[in-house]
Amino acid sequence: MSLLTIQDLTVEFPTRRQLFTAVDHASLSVEPGEIHGLVGESGAGKSTIGAAVMGLLERPGRIAGGQIKLGGDQISGIDVEAMRGLRGKKISMIFQDPLTSLNPLFTVREQLVETIQAHLGGSEAEANKRARDLIDRVGIPDPDTRLDQYPHQFSGGMRQRVVIALALCTEPDVIIADEPTTALDVSVQAQILDLIKELAQERQVGVILITHDMGVIADTTDRVTVMYAGKVVESGTTAQVMGQPQHEYTKSLIAAVPRPTLKLHRFPQISYGGRETRFAIEDMARHWPKVDNDTSKPVYEIRNLTKKFLQRRGLLPWDRTYFTAVDDVSFDIQAGEVFGVVGESGSGKSTVARMIAGLYPVDGGTISFQGKLVSDLSDRAVQDEYRKNIQMIFQDPYSSLNPRMRVDEIVAEPIRHHKLMSGTDIKRRVDELLDQVGLGHEAGQKYPHEFSGGQRQRISIARALATQPRFLICDEPTSALDVSIQAQILNILKDLQEHLGLTMLFISHDLPVVRQMCDRVAVMKQGQMVEIQETSDLFANPQTDYARELLRLMPKLDDLSTDGLGEREE
Amino acid sequence: MFAYIVRRMFQSVIVLLVVGLVAFSMFRFVGDPIDNMLGQERTQADIDRLRTELGLDQPFVVQYAKFLQGAVQGNFGVSYRQGRPVSTILIERAPATLELAFVSGFLAITLGIALGVFTAIRRQGIAANVIMTVSLIGVSLPTFLIGILLIYIFSVELDLLPSFGRGETVMIGSWSTGFLTASGLKALILPAITLGLYQMTLIMRLVRSEMLEVLRADYVRFARARGLSERVINFRHALKNTLVPVITITGLQLGSIIAFAIITETVFQWPGVGLLFINAIQFVDIPVMAAYLMLISVMFVTINLIVDLLYYAIDPRLRVDARAT
Amino acid sequence: MTDTMETTKSAPKSRLAKFWDSDFAWSFRHSPVAVIASLVVVVLVLAAIFAPLIAPYNPFDPATLNLMNGFTPPGTPNAFTQETFLLGTDDQGRDVFSTILYGLRISLFVGVSAVLLALIIGVILGLIAAYFGGWIETLIMRIADVQLTFPAILVAMLIFGIAKGITPPEYRDEMAIYVLIIAIALSDWVQFARVVRGAALVEKNKEYVQAARLIGRGSFPIMFRHILPNVLSPVLVIATISLALAIIAEATLSFLGVGAPPTQPSLGTLIRIGQGFLFSGEWWILFFPACTLLALALSVNLLGDWLRDALNPKLR
């Protein structure tokens, strides 16, 4: 018999306007020692299943049908007290963000001992011993000292290990891990996933691993269930679902995943569940000023760029401490190329982008654009001219558009500011842009919250193109988007570069995406640029240990189906 | 730890110096002290003599320094209205205010926290909702109306408790206390409730909203997911986290008890420093106003310092940051 | 979710219909407390604005006063003049209903003006502190912190006391109302500054602000055109709660005799006058102004409470 069985589960959230069915007749089961992946894009209902199993559905959500069985006993619909007895003891949970899932005012020992005693009883000494063993087991060095520390004294990865220890401390049969590595860096992510795999094997725990990341699914899980709009669309062993997907949605989802091993000309367009919106690049190219990309001279010459942030304030200069975010970085960007910068969080890649964009003043070094020095922010005339020529696409489409401004005002703002046109010309230009990015000019009358993430990113693109810039900075432009939307946006960016002759700086932590997008790549580590290479050379033959390590940790995705990927470039 | 306290003390001293400057400026520029101290029958010679005597012919900075020097020694000059040294008057009046503030502060904090926790945990319950509604009336009722209402019910209609004054007091050294006599205690009841009620409602509403916020936090969800009992979650995990912000604001509230004492003392003719202050404002008795200002700022600064230390004791994040610096 | 165009194809609606359909308007319509409270506020505000038209007597016109009418209980005819007053009269024969209407006018005028002034000062300083940071922020927030240590009512009293010392005695009554407004505003701006700074610090780091800076927009357009509209909802909540506090503060100061003078009585002054007669049995002189004050403060507080929940900003 399966450890955990979910049958025909339906979860509803009654709202004022309608009854929203978050999970619609979903079924799945988990065996001992098995890691069962639950994958889908945002809003697919995967986290809701986790919460329903734990009995932690947020109001006003409710289980409207079906059942959940734990080792043969029904646990859906049982009373609150009985459920509390099961929680922690039989089923446990790991949350996404280790930063907020530990109580900041209690030591690790206090939190562990309290949980152990609540479920297993026993003496304080026994609980203490058990706590120490667990901390040791999840790979935290020096357990005796670490036990008496507070959560804020641990790094992100170590904290997630503490969370795992807490989830394990009463020997549960099932653990639900809801995006357990999304908040972590790639290198830490790999370690945490390995730990979960080992522990599941060793203790014969069934794990439901909820994630949106196909790489995590392919590398970690035994079986996988794919969800779309609250429904289970496909289920099976990971090899089977990833290698020979049956359902159209699964196929399109897998096709949209960027591969590290092969470079595509364009991502296959996902057509499942909605019409594809056309991006009218030819139309746009016709109206674009002719660009003559002179390749003899670099567009950007960046020399010895340095940025320090104040880490601790102090009245006296010697009381202050600084954190060097960017440390003596030099590189060139050629006209018409896409120059990528990769690195983990805190490596300084976004800071470089922001200095080039003129958002941060530089603390050392120079930035020259088309032969002119632009790193002196006080030179108004040069800055004004410069700002017409560069634009930026931001990471988070939910925060990059002012929620209180209408879409046409947002797109018109750069034109108005630079006084490029006036009156009706502005309106015509804005309508044209919105039509071209595939939203239709009616979109101008609305506010950003009326659009989805992908649509918002198109609005961002329309704004960025309003001044007909020569250079585009993309700071993780797709990392907040679902994989299918990511494919669309990446295609648009490729079109822009190809048809309009735009030069781009492309910042990303995601190596496969960089592989698809960039001509040359720089690798950053702790504020320094450790390696700059042609993209294909970097992936084939990394020169530094750090780059080799990053490539090693990258999910390989070799087993993913390659159906429908279309034209390949290499 | 040591550096942290020293930094806090340093800030407190700056606050006191600024307040001192305000008080001194009042002295110096609001109304002419000469006008206030000499009657109509004055000669230019009198004025000049007094000007030199008071040091008013010296530069501003010197005068300020002298004022501070006097203030540190408890010398705030002579009340324009009563003609007695301000420090003597303050020492006479302070015990009444402090006793009143202490009792109502205690009531406000204990009841406020208890009711706040209750209404947060049982936020769907009938009792909690009734308390919340009543508390809104409490916040909307000005302190002086509460006082008048209590006097009307308990003194005028029921004739149970005195409507003004402190009752009999006993002198312990220079401290006159009302705690030791029956009439003193009886006289304390209505003013203490009047003064404490408003603060209690504020503390209660604050504790409730902070606690509700904490109860939504991820670590509380995780504690629930580990199957800890509601009691442990509410009283161990949530309450301790709630206390961190509550302590700061409660400290400020305690400060305002001393200020609101002015109103209560007026309604009940309670012979404390608040009543003294309000009379001083009406008669523009600047030395008394300045001294009162200095006195309560010392109290506020002390309360704030205690709050900071408590904060430090509760939140380990501060401890480590302080150690690192 | 797929990137479909469905959402953008719905029929265009008028702004009013859109607002009526919004969650905000919906939660208002479904909250009896909010509806009743706003009705009370509207009635009281209208009564204050149209006081000269509604009031049966002008309580400040000595010609209409008859001392013989003094202490007439509500609803019963006066023993000497046989005149009837809805809410009775005070010691000088002034109609209590009329004095309440005029008192309400002064209370609301002082409360609203003080909050507006505090709002303007607080919002501007809060935005500047958040946007520029550095020593400007330290300076503004230090002042705010120090002032916050001192309860608003005390600060207001001090400012009133100082102003009284500066102004010549013959202007004191005339100036009192304006001094009161400034005193309350200066004691209350800190709330706005802190809330605006907190919200603006969050907004400032959002990417739309970076986008505006990238275009080259200057500091002030960004602060007022981009950030300000996004921090208005907590400001609205604070303003509502502050209005209740300002009305109470005004009443308190007037009650203590350091606010509105007897020649221009506010509700607080009326209560101060009425207190003297409470114990001798003339309860109505105090009771009706007190009820009006409570109704006003309570309704505004209820509205503020509801607004806070409806807009649900992270507020302290």
* Residue C126 pLDDT level (bands cut at 50, 70, 90): very high
Q: Please give the pLDDT value at position C315.
A: 35
| pLDDT confidence band for B2 (50 / 70 / 90) | low
Q: What is the CATH number of domain B92-272?
A: 1.10.3720.10
Rounded to a whole number, what is the distance in Å from the CA of C190 to chain A's nearest CA? 24
User: Which pLDDT score is estimated for A412?
Assistant: 93
pLDDT along chain A (570 residues), means of 10: 88 84 91 92 88 86 89 82 84 87 90 89 89 90 90 88 89 91 84 91 92 89 92 92 89 86 76 65 81 78 90 64 88 92 89 92 91 86 89 90 92 91 89 89 88 89 91 90 87 89 92 91 93 92 91 81 67
- Using the beta-carbon criterion (under 8 Å), do C2 and A484 form an inter-chain contact? yes
Nearest CA in chain C to A458: C3
Give me B218's structure tokens: 């991820």
B30 contacts in chain C (CB < 8 Å): 162, 165-166
| pLDDT for residue C10 is more than 50 | no
pLDDT band at residue C116 using 50, 70 and 90 as cut-offs: very high
Note whether A104 contacts B: Cβ–Cβ < 8 A: yes
Instruction: List CB contacts (< 8 A) between A179 and chain B.
Output: none
Instruction: Give per-residue pLDDT as tens, B17-72.
Output: 888 888 777 766 666 666 666 666 667 777 777 777 766 677 777 877 887 888 77
Cβ-contact A400, A394 below 8 angstroms = yes
d(CA C222, CA A393): 19
Q: How far apart are CA A138 and CA A134, in angstroms?
A: 6
User: Which among C41, C188, C248, C285 is the top mutation candidate for probing chain B, defined by the most B β-carbons within 10 Å of its own β-carbon?
Assistant: C248
Q: Do C165 and B15 touch (CB under 8 A)?
A: no
Q: Give the span between the Cα atoms of B271 and B17, in whole angstroms.
A: 29
pLDDT above 80 (res B325):
no
Q: So what's the ipTM on this one?
A: 0.83
* Band of residue C114 on the pLDDT scale cut at 50, 70, 90: very high
Note whether B161 and B186 are within 8 A (CB): yes
Residues of chain B whose beta carbon is less than 8 angstroms from a beta carbon of chain C are 15, 18-19, 26, 30-31, 136-137, 139-145, 148, 152, 156, 163, 213, 245, 249, 252, 255-256, 259-260, 262-263, 266, 277-278, 280-282, 284, 286, 289, 293, 296-297, 300-301, 304
Choose, out of C142, C149, C190, the residue to mutate when testing the contact with B (most B CBs < 10 Å): C149
Q: What is the pLDDT of residues B131-149, one digit of tens each?
A: 888 888 888 888 888 888 8
Domain ranges of chain B: 1-81+283-325, 92-272
Q: What is the DSSP string of A71-82?
A: TTEE-TT--HHH
Name the amino acid, one letter, at B163. S
Q: How many CB atoms lie within 10 A of CB A198?
A: 13
Contacts of B31 in chain C (CB under 8 A): 165-166
Structural contact between residues B262 and B277, judged by C-beta atoms closer than 8 angstroms: yes
Residues of chain C above pLDDT 90, percent: 23
CA distance C60 to chain B (A): 24
Instruction: Measure the CA angle with vertex B119, ends B115 and B120; round to 5°.
Output: 115
CB pairs under 8 A between A and B: 82
| 3-state SS record for chain C | CCCCCHHHHCCCCCHHHHHHHCHHHHHHHCCHHHHHHHHHHHHHHHHHHCHHHHCCCCCCCHHHCCHHHCCCCCCCECCCCCCECCCCECCCCCEHHHHHHHHHHHHHHHHHHHHHHHHHHHHHHHHHHHHHCHHHHHHHHHHHHHHHHCCHHHHHHHHHHHHHHHCCHHHHHHHHHHHHHHHHHHHHHHHHHHHHHHHHHHHHCCHHHHHHHHHCCCHHHHHHHHHHHHHHHHHHHHHHHHHHHHHHHHHHHHHCCCCCCCCCCCHHHHHHHHHHHHCCCCCHHHHHHHHHHHHHHHHHHHHHHHHHHHHCCCCC
pLDDT of residue A569: 61
pLDDT at residue A271, rounded to an integer: 61
Contacts of C among chains (3+ CB pairs under 8 A): A, B
- Indicate yes or no: CB of B142 within 8 angstroms of CB of C286: no
B222 to chain A: closest CA residue: A101
In the B/C pair of chains, how many CB contacts fall below 8 A? 111
Q: Residue C312: its pLDDT value, please?
A: 66
The verdict on a CB contact (< 8 Å) between B221 and A101 is yes
With a CB-CB cutoff of 8 Å, which residues 432-491 of chain A face chain C?
439-440, 442-443, 445-446, 450-455, 460, 463, 467, 482, 484-485, 488
Q: Do C1 and A482 touch (CB under 8 A)?
A: yes
Q: Cβ(C83)–Cβ(C149) under 8 Å?
A: no
Pick the residue of A103, A149, A171, A176 with the most B CBs within 10 A to test the interface with B by mutation.
Answer: A103
Interface of B with A in 190-219 (CB under 8 A): 217-219
Give which of A227, A231, A320, A404 to mutate to test C binding, by max C Cβ within 10 Å.
Answer: A404
How near does any CA of chain C get to the CA of B173, in Å? 31
**pLDDT given for residue B251 in this prediction:** 78
CB–CB contact A163 B228 (8 Å): no
- Closest Cα in chain C to A451: C7
- How far is residue A305's CA from residue A329's CA, in Å, rounded to a whole number? 5
pLDDT of C123: 95
Highest mean pLDDT among C7-11, C269-273, C279-283: C269-273
Judged by a CB distance cut-off of 8 A, whether residue A278 touches chain C is no
Q: A95 in contact with B at a CB cutoff of 8 Å?
A: yes
- In this structure, the number of other CB atoms found within 10 A of the CB of residue A484 comes to 25
Q: Which residues of B touch C302 (CB under 8 A)?
A: 136
Q: Which residue of A has its CA nearest to B239?
A: A105
Contacts of B154 in chain C (CB under 8 A): none
Q: Could you tell me which chain C residue has the CA closest to the CA of A477?
A: C207
- For the stretch B163-173, pLDDT in tens is 788 877 787 77
Chain A contact set for C224 (CB, 8 A): none
- Identity of the residue in B219, B230, B317 whose CB atom sits nearest the CB atom of A152: B317
When CB atoms are compared, the residue of B217, B226, B316 closest to A115 is: B226
Q: Could you tell me if B3 lies within 8 Å of chain A, comparing CB atoms? A: no
H or E element: which one contains A277?
none
Q: Nearest residue on chain A to B240, judged by CA atoms? A: A105
What mean pLDDT is predicted for residues B161-183? Answer: 79
What's the confidence (pLDDT) of residue C275?
82
Residue with tokens 């303050």: B90
The reply to whether residue A92 touches residue B226, judged by beta carbons under 8 angstroms, is yes
The pair of structure tokens assigned to C259 is 């606010």
Chain C residue numbers touching A417 (CB-CB < 8 A): 215-217
Q: Does B240 touch chain A (CB under 8 A)?
A: yes
Contact flag C229-A404 (C-beta cutoff 8 Å)? yes
Q: What is the pLDDT of residue B321?
A: 47
- Which among B227, B240, B314 has the least Cβ separation from residue A84? B227
Shortest Cα–Cα distance, C205 to chain A (Å): 9
Q: Are the C-beta atoms of residues B289 and B297 closer than 8 Å to each other?
A: no
CA-nearest residue to B236 within chain A is A106
Interface test with chain C among B163, B281, B299, B303, by most C beta carbons within 10 Å: B281
What integer best gives the mean pLDDT of chain C? 82
Residue B234 has pLDDT above 70, yes or no: yes
